[in-house]
Amino acid sequence: MRAIWKGSISFGLVNIPIALYPATRKEELSFRLLRRSDLSPVNYKRVAEKDGKEVSWDEIVKGYEYEKGKYVVLKNEDFQRVDLEATQTVDIQDFVDQEEIDPMFFYKPYYLEPQKGGDKAYVLLRDALEKNKKVGIAKVVIKTRQYLAGVKAEDGVLLLELMHFAEELADSGKLHVPKKIETGKREINMATALIDSMSSKWNPEKYRDDYREALMEVIEEKVEAGGKEIEEKPKPRKQPTKVIDLVSVLQQSLEKAGGAKKKTARKHRAKHAHHAKKAA
């Protein structure tokens, strides 16, 4: 894994040399546009909306739309006037209780790895954050852009997680959601029972990207068929249901969830019995 940024964490008089590594992988499939007749790749053109003519790079400028259809042009000098000094420092400004921060503020994690001479201070910060359940709120400049970020301790590693600024989050108060609707005691009890019956320990490996896997199957079939069309498999159709009686629907859901749990338990028992028989 290659570091995308190297610098240091700074808080008070403490300075920890670190390297920044992506903590996530992008799993999207990449496609090219092709000409149907000979599968020649099709490139994108820079075309002006006004007359449809292609525009060369030396004719292109950056503009900000301050009103509908009205733009102000920004030159390189304008960007340089607000260019922030890339100090290569994760500058922690505050330590905050982790439970106080709305998870919606966090959006992109990176691993922090200590560099030469930083091991002891790294471990000290990691253990102190973990013990006190705190997050270091910092500002960091990566590739000329300033970000708000949280420094966390998770699974023995320091994590730098980029955060939204407050003004970047949309106001949920503008949504038309029901403020309060009276629900019956029986409905609440059944909904609680359904949640309990579907509750389990968090296992991230359990959840797969079904769309990506199904699409890869189609791609592999087409590769094996030499690019020829393949016969489409019939899809099972779900019958649309009208939710009329909430209690009835909850009852059916409870029965279904209970049946699924029993089926899973039977599978586990059969699997263990098979392994035990093989071992014997």
Q: Each residue of 97-117: pLDDT tens digit?
A: 999 999 999 999 999 999 999
Dihedrals phi, psi of 252, to nearest 5 degrees = -65, -40
pLDDT value of position 208: 84
- In the predicted model, residues of the chain with pLDDT beneath 50 are none
3-class state of residue 9 by DSSP: strand
pLDDT value of position 150: 96
Dihedrals phi, psi of 71, to nearest 5 degrees = -125, 150
pLDDT value of position 78: 80
H helix or E strand, kind and range, residue 7: strand 5-11
pLDDT value of position 128: 95
Instruction: Sketch out the chain's domains with CATH numbers.
Output: 5-25+83-168 (2.40.290.10)
pLDDT value of position 86: 57
Q: Check: CB of residue 214 under 8 Å from CB of residue 235.
A: no
Q: Check: CB of residue 33 under 8 Å from CB of residue 41.
A: yes
Q: Which of 210, 159, 202 is nearest to 27 (CA)?
A: 210
Q: Check: CB of residue 141 under 8 Å from CB of residue 85.
A: yes
3-class state of residue 106 by DSSP: strand
User: How many of the other CB atoms lie within 10 Å of CB of 3?
Assistant: 14
Task: Report the distance separating Cα 5 and Cα 20, nearest Å.
Answer: 5
Helix pair angle (246-279, 185-197), 10° resolution: 20
Contacts of 15 (CB under 8 A, 6+ apart): 8, 9, 121
pLDDT value of position 142: 82
pLDDT value of position 111: 95
Single-letter code of the amino acid located at 127: D
pLDDT value of position 137: 95
pLDDT value of position 113: 95
CA dihedral for 91, 93, 97, 103, sign (positive or negative):
negative
